[in-house]
Each structure stands twice: as structure tokens, then as C-alpha cells.
Structure 1
Amino acid sequence: MGVTVAGDLKEGQDRANAEKNAPTTTLLIEGLAMFRNNALVGWLNQDQSKGLNYITGDIRDSVGSFTCPNEPDREIALESFKERTKYDVRIVNNKPIIDLTVDIGTHISEVNCKDLDLSKEENFYLIEDQSEQQFMATLQSTVEEAKAHQADVLGFGQMIHRKHPKVWEQLEDNWDEEFPNVEVTYEVNINITDTGNIINSFSEDD
């Protein structure tokens, strides 16, 4: 993980800063480091780090913010309670294709959409569709960032090894060079089960 300083570094070195209820200078832990052959080669940002956790199945519960349908300046928060990532590896013309499927069960935890009536069932479908597209973009960004640095932090090599060991034998020695060329398909299914105590949308301003 990466550690950055929020605020003035010099002030942060003052003991009085640490004794404040709300320090003016703090440390932030964000992003994940990517290594190749034990060398640091790049970083995943916060969203890409979450994408990595979903791809590798290393996640429990999480909360994500998505753009409201037809309101790009407003957001809706979905809290996931059930996640399942499945993958398949196909070999086409002697080249591996990774098929990723992510299924997520969610609750609506917060709404800041101005014109979203949650009493209408069709609006749930709109939220699901839009959040699926946005989350798919996060997964794609994660994969492309890893490919750009030739860092298989996603475990694609292990997937190929388990499913097609003979193919892996041909790729293993040059995997750093082969990894960026691996085709990946994505399927995201987000299912909203309920809205908790939220009945309708609300906004802080009209």
C-alpha cells in the first residue's frame, strides 16, 4: 500500500499536530503497489485496487458510489453483501482468453439522486444497469494498468496453469511479455435486493 501526506509536511512534524482532535496534517494509506520480479513497477489507484480485490476474490463487504441514472453530477451508494467471482480460460488459436464473471448482491445504502423514484421497479433496473457498466470500466482499468506494467498481480498466469497446464508450459518462460497480450472478457451482474430504510430519493438541495 502507498502512504501519502495530506497537509503541510513541516506542520505534521510538530508534536502539537498529533495532539489535535483534527490534525491539519495526516497520513493517508491509499493505492496498491505492483511488483514484477521483486521490483516496484507501478501503482493501482483506489478504484483499481478494489477492482483487483474483486478479480482475485479477495473481498468481503464493500461500499461503492455510482452515478445516478440521468444525473451525472449526483451519486448513489451501493453496499455489497455477497460477491462471487468466476473465471474461465479458453484457448483460441493457441492463445488464452480469460472470461471473468463478477456477481454482486447489494443494498442501496445512500441516495443523492434528485429525480429517482425508488418506488418504481424500473428504476432499480436502471441503477443496476448503470452500476454494472461503471464497475465493468473499473475492472477493465485495473487489468489495463497491470498490463501496462507487465505485472500479473491479477493471477492470470495461475488461472491458465490450473486450467491448461500444457499451454502454460509454452507461456511460462516469457510470461512478462505474453501477459499484456492476453484477451479478457468481462461480465458484471449487480443485483439490488432492497433499499434498507430508504423509500425514495432525497437531495440536500432542490
Structure 2
Amino acid sequence: EASLTGIKIRGDVQKGETSENVKQIDAPTKLQYEGIAVFKNDRLIGWLDEDESKGLNYSLGKIKSTIVDITCPNEGKVGIEIIRTKADVKTKVKNGKLTGMIRVEAEGNIADVECRKAELTKTVTIHDFEKKGEEGIKEKIEAVINASQQKYKADIIGFGEALQRSNPVYWKKSEKEWNEKFPDIPIEIETDLKIRRIGTIIDPPLKEIKK
């Protein structure tokens, strides 16, 4: 099923139609991306929220720049900027049972550190951040899967297309009942995050602050 990015008008519509609107540095009327529209049978049936929208873009490998916030081992948080993603959507038929799988590989850099204690030069610290980042990405994907299967019952990620490619015989048998089958398909999620750079921050300023 189709999905499209939403665009919202901020400000006065009539003023936005004039040439004066684009001549100003801070234009009174602006266009803003907001949410993703979900379609079924060519009809708009609802909208994905921010987490669900990110989950969809992760599932399709379309994330090019976003921040994943994770908690530090002691206190504070770390922001990881995701700079590259690659996604693979698959289906598998075993003993007549159909399952789906999403695997997402991501690369990121540490963009912001607000930990009181975080030894960024240690491999174990970076590995811990990667694991927590993977969990954060997985939560977003789980959100969009729940929305697509339970809330809207619309295959916006494309498991039907994946099944058609990998097992055209099974797809031919399932095609007419796909709308009924899709909400009950178990879907596995795998995420793999690699942190490539830690920037110039070695010892965050908060590390020296004592309560």
C-alpha cells in the first residue's frame, strides 16, 4: 500500500500565495513536513506519528540524518546522529507458515554527550552505545509494524512485494486474501548499528561536575 509524506501550511494561506511571502527572510507563511499519510486501496485512511514515521523510514532504508537519544550508564544521555541506513525486507515460508523479517544496518556518529561519566575511548563504552542505539531503532520499527498491522491493516512496508519476489507460487495463492493474512504475520526485526566517529569530545564537561 502507498504512503506519502504530509506537508502542512504554517501561517496565512492567502499571504503565502503572494510573491512578497518568499522575499522575506522570515516568511509569515511556510510549508512544513509533518507525518506520513497511509493509504489503502488508493484511499487515505490515517497518519503515522513521529515514531511510526521514523520506523517506516528505517524499514525502507530512507533515513539519512536523524538523532537517536540513549541513556548513559550512570546519568545523562548521548545523542547519536544516524548518517546512513540500509534495509532489507524479506519473507520466509517454512512448513507452510509465513514469517516476515526486517534487517536494518545503520551507521552513526556521536553528536552530543551529556554523561557524567563516559569513557568514550573505551571499546566497551562504544559497544554499549551501539546496543542501546539498536534497541532505539528497533522500538521505532516495532511502532510502525504495530500501526500497519493492527491500526490500519495496510502493508506499507512491502512484505507482499517481498513475498512475490521470493516465493511467487505462495504469493499467487495468498494474493486475494493478503489483506486478511497480513495483520497476523509474525515479523522479526534485526538491527545493527556501527558508530564510526566520536567527534572531538573525549571527556565530556559534565564528567567533572559533582553533586
**TM tier relative to shorter chain:** 0.7 to 0.9
TM-score, length of structure 1 as denominator length: 0.82
How far apart, in 1, do the equivalents of 2:108 and 2:135 lie?
15
Alpha carbons 2:60, 2:88 under 8 Å: kept: no
2:68 is aligned with 1:51: no
Contact kept? 1:78, 1:109, Cα under 8 Å: yes
Q: Aligned partners of 1:145, 1:109: CA distance in 2, in Å?
A: 30
* Inter-partner Cα distance in structure 2 for 1:196 and 1:71: 21
The offset of 1:46, in angstroms, is 2.3
Aligned counterpart for 1:63 among listed residues 54, 62, 66: 66
State which of 183, 189, 196 in structure 2 corresponds to 1:186.
Answer: 189
- After the TM superposition, which of the residue ranges 132-141 and 39-48 deviates more from structure 2? 39-48
Residue 28 (1) aligns with residue 62 (2): no
Q: Aligned match of 2:201 in 195, 198, 206?
A: 198
Contact persistence 1:118–1:201 (CA under 8 A): no
Counterpart residue number, 1:90: 92
TM-score by length of 2: 0.80
Deviates more, 1:18-27 or 1:124-133: 18-27
Note closer, same or farther for the CA distance 1:46–1:202 as it changes in structure 2 (3 Å cut).
Answer: farther
Distance 1:26 1:76, change over 3 A: farther
Corresponding residue for 1:118? Answer: 120
Shift, 1:135, TM fit? 0.9
1:106 to 98, 105, 108: 108
Q: Note the alpha carbon deviations across 1:92-142, whole angstroms, 9 max, x for none.
A: 342321122111122112222233221322211111111111111111111
The one-letter amino acid paired with 1:153 is I
Q: How far did 1:50 drift?
A: 2.2
Deviation per CA, 1:18-47: give whole Å up to 9, x if none.
Answer: 687657886532110000001111211223
Q: Distance in 1 between matches of 2:6 and 2:13?
A: 19
Following superposition, the deviation at residue 170 of structure 1 comes to 1.6
Closer/same/farther in 2, CA of residues 201 and 171 from structure 1, 3 Å limit: farther
Determine the C-alpha separation between the residues in 1 that align with 2:203 and 2:66.
19
Verify the 8 A CA contact 2:91 2:159 in the aligned structure 1: no
Q: Aligned letter for 2:35?
A: G
Q: Amino acid of the residue matched to residue 189 of structure 2?
A: Y
In structure 1, distance between residues paired with 2:83 and 2:26: 32
CA RMSD of aligned residues (A): 2.7
Residues 113 and 85 of structure 1: CA distance in aligned 2, closer, same or farther (over 3 Å): same
Letter paired with 1:123:
T
Q: Which residue of 2 aligns with 1:139?
A: 141
| Farther off after superposition, 27-36 or 90-99 | 90-99
- Confirm or deny that 1:177 pairs with 2:194: no
Which residue does the alignment assign to 2:18?
Answer: none
Shift of 1:4: 4.3
1:168 maps onto 2:168 in alignment: no
Work out whether 1:38 is the aligned partner of 2:31: no
List gaps (5 residues or longer) in structure 2.
16-20
* 1:13 positional shift: 6.1
Aligned residues: 198
